[in-house]
C-alpha cells in the first residue's frame, strides 16, 4: 500500500499456495484504492480466481491476449477504444 499511497504504484504480481490469503489481500487492496477514487483493474490467470475478485476477469480477456502466442503475437487493443481510455485513466502510459 505504501507504493500506491506514495503514487509509485504499478503492476503487482501476487503468488502463493492455495488458501494462503491471496484473494483477501487482492480484494482488500483493490477496495482501498477504489475507496480513494482510484481505478484498480482486477485480473487473474484463471477464470476460477477471477470470480473471487470484484469486477475481476482473466488477463487474456482484459488485455486481448491471444491464446496461441509466438514471437509475432501482440495484444489486439484498438487505439482510441474505451479500454485505452480506461488504461490512461489508471495512470498507465505507453509508447
The residue among 49 and 27 whose pLDDT is bigger is 27
Nearest to 51 by CA among 27, 67, 28, 77: 27
Provide the whole-model pTM. Answer: 0.65
Query: 50 near 44, Cβ under 8 Å?
Result: yes
Q: What is the pLDDT of residue 93?
A: 61
pLDDT value at 73 more than 70: yes
CA distance 12 to 43: 11
CA distance 65 to 77: 9
73-88 average pLDDT score: 84
Q: What is the pLDDT of residue 95?
A: 47
Domain ranges of the chain: 2-89
Amino acid at each position: 500500500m505504501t507504493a500506491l499511497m506514495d503514487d509509485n504504484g504499478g503492476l503487482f504480481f501476487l503468488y502463493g499456495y492455495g488458501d494462503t490469503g491471496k484473494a483477501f489481500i487482492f480484494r482488500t487492496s483493490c477496495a482501498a484504492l477504489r475507496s480513494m477514487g482510484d481505478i484498480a483493474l482486477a485480473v487473474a490467470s484463471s477464470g476460477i480466481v477471477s470470480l473471487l475478485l470484484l469486477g475481476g476477469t482473466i488477463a487474456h480477456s482484459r488485455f486481448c491476449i491471444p491464446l496461441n502466442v509466438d514471437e509475432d503475437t501482440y495484444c489486439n487493443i484498438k487505439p482510441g477504444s474505451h479500454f485505452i481510455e480506461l488504461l490512461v485513466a489508471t495512470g498507465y502510459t505507453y509508447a
